[in-house]
Amino acid sequence: MTLNELTLNFEKHYGEGGTIITAFAPGRVNLIGEHIDYNGGYVFPCALSFGTYVAARTRNDGQINLASLNMPKKVTVTLNNLAYNEENDWTNYPLGVLNEFIKAGFSQEITGVDMLFFGNVPQGAGLSSSASLEVATGVLVNALFNLNVDMVELVKMAQRAENLFVGVSCGIMDQFASGMGRKDHAIMLNCSNLKYQYAPVKLDGMKIIIANTNKKRGLLDSKYNERCDECESALSDLKSTAFPNISFLCDIAPNEFMSAINNIKNPMVAKRAQHAVFENQRVIDAVDKLNANDIVGFGQLMIQSHESLRDLYEVTGNELDTLFEEALKIDGCVGSRMTGAGFGGCTVSIVKDAAVQNFIEQVGKNYTQRTGLVADFYIAEIGAGASVISV
């Protein structure tokens, strides 16, 4: 959809007149560094070229009108009556962001708004459509009312909206990648203190391919909480013995961890901790590989990451493992791994240009034969972070 088409649709919804501003916030994929954000480790996401577009215009009556070209639900509320309502469905995400602005002291500046959204992030693929929606709202409201909030604070507001208003316990990686992304770069983000650096991803002659298992993830919440508890148990054992001064598992270097692994009482818990410690090191090594333009070396780290998530952390499952195994059979696939929380969702692979079509056809065919499911494939580009795109 073009910006002109979005503006025309906005005028169909809300009428002509006034100044319409549009903004965009991308979805994200995490290239490496899985299940270590809550262990104080590094993650390595990048913004994607698809995401959420929003057009908006100010009002002077304290009313908020929200509509989407993707979903039928429309909501009208007032600024003095912002509260979560399950019936408001997807609109709770932008309403939560507006609520953060009001809590931050901007109740006088924000006078009301009409907003129309359009998203091309594949729904349910684990590519952060909700974070994209939140950050797009934040960027647009910030510009529309000249609030001068910097991007990192907008990212934090978007996360708080999801945590406190919507009630979803997410980390900050998704919103951070959407807001702070840089074209052709990934972000090495320290989840314990939000320090970050960019690393170039020069995919000359290669593409990033995201494959969606299309498996419903019924076990996700319970298993996610279980892994968090297991990591807390490992941390407790290590703090009471070998490492009294650490705050997170990822504070420990791999060689130090292996010398103290027997201090973890439960062998299963030790496996979870081993993944976290070594995955954190893989992110550090990945940045070194990319800075040296060693995409093949980076691909090997991706493969090691998936194997660790399969064997030590046990969050992959048959569908993700099948996509991973079939990907590595394709000549021209440099690396592949699951991305996201697991038990379904997506893999991310790096594939040489000449092999892309064969990769999609063969991996898709073999995946269906082995699982009975049909995978969706997306050729992704690393895009820029959120911004106003017209005024």
Nearest 10 degrees: Cα torsion 3, 8, 10, 13: -160
From CA 21, how far away is CA 7, in angstroms rounded?
A: 9
What are the angstrom distances between the C-alpha of 227 and each of 198, 233, 275, 313? Answer: 29, 10, 11, 8
User: Quick one: how many helices (H) and strands (E) in the chain?
Assistant: 11, 13
Which member of 37, 114, 174, 237 is catalytic?
Answer: 174
From CA 281, how far away is CA 270, in angstroms rounded?
A: 17
- Cα R_g (the chain), whole angstroms: 22
DSSP structure class, residue 122 = P
Q: Two tokens at 329?
A: 């059979």
Q: Please, are residues 334 and 17 in contact by the beta-carbon 8 Å criterion?
A: no
Beta-bridge mates of residue 22: 55, 390
What are the angstrom distances between the C-alpha of 228 and each of 74, 91, 124? Answer: 37, 29, 23
| CA angle at 42 for the pair 38 and 43, rounded to the nearest 5° | 90
| Count of other CB atoms within 10 angstroms of residue 349 | 28
Which strands sit side by side in the sheet containing 113-119, from one edge to the other? 75-78, 63-68, 113-119, 45-58, 21-30, 387-390
In the residue annotation, 288 being an active-site residue is answered as no
Which residues are catalytically annotated? Answer: 174
